[in-house]
Structures are given as structure tokens and as C-alpha cells.
Structure 1
């Protein structure tokens, strides 16, 4: 693949990966197995990118590859454990992710913009809680505040972000 194709794939995959990852996680119940499938999808996209028709949307193509690999993974897992999703349901889930996938791009962009507007202390508390997955007590210790203060700070930060995202994502969010 030439450098221009590599750059195009990198851009398309970066935009689509969160949706593809969520789709895979909805089909493959084991977290680590789902992450393995996501990596397999990335490898397959690189290998098959020269077959991609650039006149068509990338997300459905990537979701189709993800579906095939997720179903293969589910078949392997089904040999040892009964699986619970029919092929029809998997198809319906794929359609839902295709329809909703692009709508989340605006929300992610709005979130990045809104995070840049926040004071450093708010960004820090959000990172400790969500990026590092720390419990409230651990967040409080790291910031030198009480548990209650950490909870209130996080609640207020989430509310400010929610309002900011709704304002900048064109009111498309309903939460």
C-alpha cells in the first residue's frame, strides 16, 4: 500500500474504530476475545484495503469485515459454550450500528472541543475517573480532596460537558 493509501486508511479507521469496536463488543461477550477480534479487523482492513471501493462509505465495509470475524469468533466459542445471538439478530445489530455510527462522530468531536474548554482541574478529575478508571476515593486521594468533593466535582463536570456537547453537537444527543 502506498503512503497516500496508508494515510487514507489511517484516517478512515480512526473515524470508524469506536463504532466498529462497540459493534464487536455487542456481538462478542468476552472482553478480551472482542479486543482480539477488533485487532483482527484492523489487520484485515490493512490487507484488504486495496479492494475497498472509495466511492462507497467505509463504515459499512469495515462493519461487514467485523461481522465476519466476530461471527467466526462466536462459532469458535460456541463449540465450548452455547451462544445466545441468532444470525438474524446479529444482522439487525449491524444495521443499527451503521445507522447510528456516523451520528456519534459529531458527539466525539464536540466532546474533544468541550474538554479543551475545561479548567485543568476538571480535566484532571475526569481523566482520573474515566481514563484511569479510579474509584471516587482514589480520585479524591490523588487530588487531595474529600470523597464527597470528588463526587460533586465529577457530577458538575459531567453536567457541564453534557450541556456543552448538546450545544455543539446540534442538539442530536438525547441524554
Structure 2
């Protein structure tokens, strides 16, 4: 006779923990996506809750080798269509399925472009010389003011501001090259 255990294997626990983390991480993007498709914030919030329920129900179907965001947005899109159909039956809807599809495609394109830019920024930040990366992290990661930072490193605020400007230009150039598929080489120094 086979023995049954009420314990869930550790690898399953870790898998569900990653899945729940994926749902949590996707919430701001899903909310923005739905608010684009559904102009009434209450409707967007309702569809977000329905989407989260479906995401949980479909957890076994999720392919963890694929990006979670597009998969979750697709489910949110279908939940939006269901919501719009329900609304059209009650004649409360001002948006067609075609409009929702058009908006969803544009949102997906923008989300993909933003993810590409974020990845390019990370790659370009990694290519910065250590002192410049530390400056960028101190200024933009912690929100330290230029004046305070300048005092801490013994430089004038104007000089530090100019240095940060040059670093931002280098990052922008690197990101542009990366997005065009070019080589992402960072030049050292203050320029």
C-alpha cells in the first residue's frame, strides 16, 4: 500500500514562491496596462482582481522558462475582453474589442521596449568605471543631493554636476547603441 504524505516537496514550495513573487512583481505593470484599456479605475481594479485569480488558477500551466510579464498581460487582456463583453450586454461600454486589442498591442510593445531599455541601462552601468558607477548609484540610487555629495568628496557642486552630466551622456549613448544592436563600449574619464 502506498504511503501518502501531506508535505509538499521543497522544490514545489520554491516554485510556488517564485510564482507568487512573479505575480507580486507584475502588479504595477498589470494595473497600468488595465487602466489603459479600462478608463474607469474601479473597472481596472476589478479586472486586476479577476486576473490575479486566473493567474493563480493557471499556475500549473505557466512555463517558467518564459517571461512572466507578457504571459500575465495576455491573461489580463482576455479578462478585459470578458469584462467589455459583459458591459456591452448592459450597454455601459464605450470601447470596442478592436480598440481594446489595439491598446493592448501598444501597451505590450511599450512594455517590451521599456524592458529592453532597462536591460541596456543595466549593461551600460556595468560598463562604467567604478568611480562613475558609484557616483551614479549615490545620486540616483539613494537620491543624495549633488551639493551633499560634492561636500563629501571635496569637489564643487558645479564640477560634480558637470561630471554627472557627462556620465549621463555616456550612458545615453551606450543605451542607444545597445538598442540599435551596436557595441556597448564605455570610455573612461571625465571627457
| TM-score category (smaller protein) | 0.5 to 0.7
Match of residue 82 from structure 1? none
Contact kept, 8 Å, 1:59 with 1:98, in 2: the verdict is: no
1:122/1:157 contact within 8 Å kept: yes
Change (3 A) 1:48 1:170: farther
Query: RMSD of aligned C-alpha atoms?
Result: 4.4
Name the structure where helix makes up a greater proportion of residues: 1
Q: Find 1:117's aligned residue among 105, 117, 127.
A: 127
Paired residues for 1:18-33 under 5 Å: 21=28, 24=31, 27=35
Q: Distance in 2 between matches of 1:48 and 1:140?
A: 53
Judging changes above 3 Å, is the alpha-carbon distance between structure 1 residues 8 and 163 closer, same or farther for their aligned structure 2 residues? same
Unaligned runs of 5+ in 1: 28-36, 69-85
**Max Rg structure:** 2
- The runs of 5 or more residues in structure 2 that have no matched partner are 1-10, 36-44, 80-92, 183-191
Please give the secondary structure, in 1, of the residue aligned with 2:144: coil
Q: Counterparts in 2 of 1:1-175, with a 5 A limit?
A: 2=12, 5-6=15-16, 9=19, 13=22, 17=25, 21=28, 24=31, 27=35, 44=52, 47-48=56-57, 50=59, 52=61, 54=63, 58-63=68-73, 65=76, 95-170=105-180
Aligned equivalents of 2:29, 2:148: Cα separation in 1 = 28
Return the TM-score normalized by structure 1. 0.55
Tell me by how many angstroms 1:145 deviates.
Answer: 1.6
Alignment TM-score, normalising by the size of structure 2: 0.52
Q: How many positions carry a matched residue from both structures?
A: 140
Q: Distance in 1 between matches of 2:167 and 2:20?
A: 32
Q: Which deviations, in whole Å up to 9, do the C-alpha atoms of 1:114-152 show, x marking residues without a partner?
A: 111111211111111111112221222233321101211
* SS of the residue 1:157 aligns to: helix
- Aligned with 1:2: secondary structure? helix
* Deviation (angstroms), 1:156: 0.5
* Counterpart secondary structure, 1:169: helix
